[in-house]
Amino acid sequence: MVSETKRQKKWYQIQWYADVDTPQDRKLINKLDLLIVPYAVLSYWVKYLDQSNLNNAYVAGLKEDLGFQGNELVQLQTFYIIGAVTGQIPFMFLFTYLPMHWTIPFLDIAWGIFTLLQYRVNSYAELAAYRFLVGWFEAAFFPAMHYVFGSWYRGDEIARRGGIFYVGLSLGTLTSGLIQAGASARLDGVHGLAGWRWMYIICAIITIPIGILGYFVIPGTPEHPNRLVLRQEDIDRASERLKRSGHVSYGKFKFPNLWSIVKKPQFWAIILVDVLFWNAGVHTSAGTFLLWIKSLKRFSPARVNELGTIAPALGIFYTLFICFASDLVLGPAWAITLAHAWNIVGLIILTIWKVPEAALWFAFSTIYASSAPPPERAFTLVLINAISQSSTAWTPLLVFRTVEAPRFPKGFPFALACAILLIIATHALRLYIRHRDPGVEFTTGVPEEESDSAERADGGETAQPKSQRDKKVDDSSE
């Protein structure tokens, strides 16, 4: 039996590059980081800015101006989810055919246009249509960016870059609150427009230029590269790096591939985990924190939105900590466990509800921990993401009905149960994969290669998985 050629690094040995990366590799990694990561953060920021601004507008006067009395808020959120789910399906088949440096900016600009149009709404039906279209064009962004990440980076390099990327989620929600607070305080009534209408105009002014920027900075994929920013030498080196690690980035999706995917038991196991993931954090998108602050009846609309930024601001820390820990120290399963253990603490308090007000402030400040650990989403297919997210189109209608705000007697216990089951299901899936493939490592995501592996890589030989090398050695010894 050959000796172990890969071992996991201890936390104090962690560095940004792997030991096998040559100086030329590191120069390429830096270039890709500067092209992909800042744009990913900006786009994810405006995505969540345009997704969450409905909650901020609702507590800043939209409810009263449009005459909402019942569950219109949760219904409008459902229209967004329906758009976000149905929009993923066509792009699942188009990702491998369309250049990503054209596709992603087009989506960004399109949802920016429909964000702008929301400033002029005067009815529930009109707003519902715009929310659906914003969701439809935003639908493919998350899997598209992960498709780009996976086209240029090894598996052990993605999560810490994803951790920076995911900051956009909390940053978008935070910024939406600050923009609405400023619009309510300074623009309400200017040119005859309410403050919440100005917020949609400002959000669109931010979103559309970022979409245009994408045409000039997104590197595309090795199969459809953006030659404005990459040389052929860069593309060849990136492809060779992925081949050395056994990574495949080419190949077009075809309908026959679908059956080979869905018949695998791990496909359905991952769907279960992902459904629980979405629903364990569904309270973050239901506007629960803002609705509770408004129910205190002590603050102006501007102040409500300012205070509502506390939770997403803390979410930035949660996201960076959990995603870097997943990639470098803990691995996905334990990162999910850590994040949702913190989420569970807050949900227990919110489920009890009859606690001191300070405890409720604390509990609401933990809710973005449920959005911090998306490692399992990073390796799921668009189809899995679409099926899982579709569950959140109907569960809020049952458990987070707007008329039950801010107590949500069914919603918080439901999210609590999902968080607990998520931890259990994640470790069950982890054990199943370990049993099926004993060679899989789970402790950290950063491999430390032995020197012989590095020499083979420098010499241009394609590195193979350990199990295949062992098999060749065993076969030759017979």
SS3 (DSSP) at 207: helix
Both structure tokens of 214: 């994408």
pLDDT at 15: 65
- Average pLDDT for the chain: 80
* Cβ(104)–Cβ(214) below 8 Å: yes
Determine, yes or no, domain membership for 10.
Answer: no
Determine, yes or no, domain membership for 473.
Answer: no
Q: What count of other Cβ atoms lies within 10 Å of the Cβ of residue 127? A: 21
Window from 190-199, 208-217, 248-257, 298-307 with minimum mean pLDDT:
248-257
Determine, yes or no, domain membership for 463.
Answer: no
More confident residue, 120 or 361: 120
**Enclosing domain of residue 108:** 29-222+260-441
What are phi and psi for residue 94, nearest 5 degrees? -95, -15
Q: What is the pTM of this model?
A: 0.76
What pLDDT, in 10s, does the model give residues 252-306? Answer: 555 556 666 677 777 788 888 888 888 888 888 778 888 899 899 899 888 988 8
Q: What is the DSSP code string of 322-341? A: HHHHIIIII-HHHHHHHHHH
* Cβ(319)–Cβ(86) below 8 Å: no
Determine, yes or no, domain membership for 24.
Answer: no
Both structure tokens of 173: 């929600």
pLDDT at 475: 42
Is it the case that residue 457 has pLDDT exceeding 80? no
Determine, yes or no, domain membership for 6.
Answer: no
Both structure tokens of 160: 């810490």
Count: domains in the chain: 1
Determine, yes or no, domain membership for 422.
Answer: yes
What pLDDT, in 10s, does the model give residues 14-58? Answer: 567 777 778 898 999 999 999 999 999 999 899 988 988 999 999
Q: What is the DSSP code string of 146-203? A: HHHHHHHS-HHHHHHHHHHHHHHHHHHHHHHHHHHHHHHHHTTTGGG--HHHHHHHHH
Q: How far is CA 387 from CA 169, 261, 270, 276, 327, in A?
A: 21, 14, 11, 12, 26
Query: For residues 383, 387, 390 and 395, what is the CA-based torsion angle, rounded to 10 degrees?
Result: -160
Query: Smallest Cα–Cα separation from 332: which of 418, 448, 436, 442?
Result: 442
Q: What CATH number does the domain containing 89 carry?
A: 1.20.1250.20
SS3 (DSSP) at 449: strand
Determine, yes or no, domain membership for 19.
Answer: no
- Euclidean distance between CA atoms 31 and 149, whole angstroms: 13
- Euclidean distance between CA atoms 366 and 338, whole angstroms: 12
Determine, yes or no, domain membership for 228.
Answer: no
